Chain A
């Protein structure tokens, strides 16, 4: 049930990104106007921009902070509170690398959450709480200290796998080893995500598989027109969702599934 190798590989997955600073908006920028970085799939952009912004600040002779910029790809606003890997899977259908992202400073979109570390911490922990509400009626997360909650977030921000799992293992495996519902979200670009109650087992006690979970959320789906992706992987439809919850979840304890029209 616990696939250490897989969990480790998921955590260490990275995407090469080229940040292009929009020369129409950063008018004083000197060359070079791009900055390259390898970003963790499981992290969030506001936590990974300090080097790129330091580079930009030097090139424009001005202190640029994360709240002064926003990110755009192919006309899409990249949401600060979505994991980097989910955003890549969602918007880069052809798998192009490096991921060339436009860094903007003007016309700041209203819908973006505030990219401060405090806001990211809040949103992240609320997702973890919601996931535990589904799994354990919130009993495990509420039995943890505030310090343990903060360690979950800080270990993502600092990319520390062992620190993360020293706390997260309790959210994944409690004494009863029973979970009520599997935290899972289904995304189609351009629509709000779908989330429904998914039991880990079917009525006959067989493990619920991904195909059944997707059908519950999208009853009329035609699988022949879609590719099902999570963590950059084309996930087989007969994968057990409880296995996915323990090994393929993002740090917020949710399985994020992208349904891409083929």
Chain B
């Protein structure tokens, strides 16, 4: 995966009791951060900004809010899609 490629194909999967997004495939700028993605999902699902939303990579850790999507894609996936799980509870904490 070229480092200069700027867009990331995202697949967002609900975990636990989290509501399922009608559209869960998104192509977004690679330099968006996890903090941006949290706000994006909350807005889409009408979740209050102050409520908890946890994101998980490889069903094993929650990435730092400052992680860019492109660095996550580079480091943790071999496919062209970046799969991220979201949950309102700390599912794999």
Contact = CB atoms under 8 A, between A and B. Distances in A.
Contacts, number: 54
Contact of B75 (A81, A123, A127, A197): A197
B76 A192 contact: no
Interface of A (DSSP majority class):
loop
B65 interface: yes
A192 B35 CA distance: 11
A219 B4 CA distance: 10
A232 interface: no
B64 interface: yes
Contacts of A133: 57-58, 60-61, 76
Interface of B (DSSP majority class):
loop
A75 B17 CA distance: 41
Nearest to A131: B61
B90 interface: yes
Contacts of B68: 192, 194
Interface residues of A, number: 22
A122 B3 CA distance: 30
A192 B62 contact: no
Contacts of A245: none
Interface in A203-248: 219
Contacts of A192: 31, 33, 66-68, 71
Contacts of B64: 81, 123, 126-127, 130
Contacts of A130: 57, 61, 63-64
Name which of A113, A130, A142, A219 has the most chain B CB atoms within 10 A of its CB: A130
A194 B57 CA distance: 17
B71 A195 contact: yes
Interface in B46-91: 57-58, 60-68, 71, 74-76, 90
B63 A111 contact: no
B91 to A, nearest CB: 13
B77 to A, nearest CB: 11
A32 B41 CA distance: 46
B61 to A, nearest CB: 4
Contacts of B66: 79, 192-193
B67 to A, nearest CB: 7
Given A79-B66, A113-B65, A196-B75, 6 more contacts: A126-B61, A130-B61, A192-B31, A192-B67, A192-B68, A194-B71
15 contacts: A122-B90, A126-B63, A126-B64, A127-B64, A133-B60, A133-B76, A138-B58, A138-B60, A181-B75, A192-B66, A192-B67, A192-B68, A192-B71, A195-B71, A197-B74
Interface of B: 3, 31, 33, 35, 57-58, 60-68, 71, 74-76, 90, 93
Interface of A: 79, 81, 111, 113, 122-123, 126-127, 129-130, 133-134, 138, 142, 181, 192-197, 219
8 residue pairs, one from A and one from B, having the closest CB atoms:
A129-B61, A195-B71, A126-B62, A130-B61, A192-B68, A138-B60, A126-B61, A192-B66
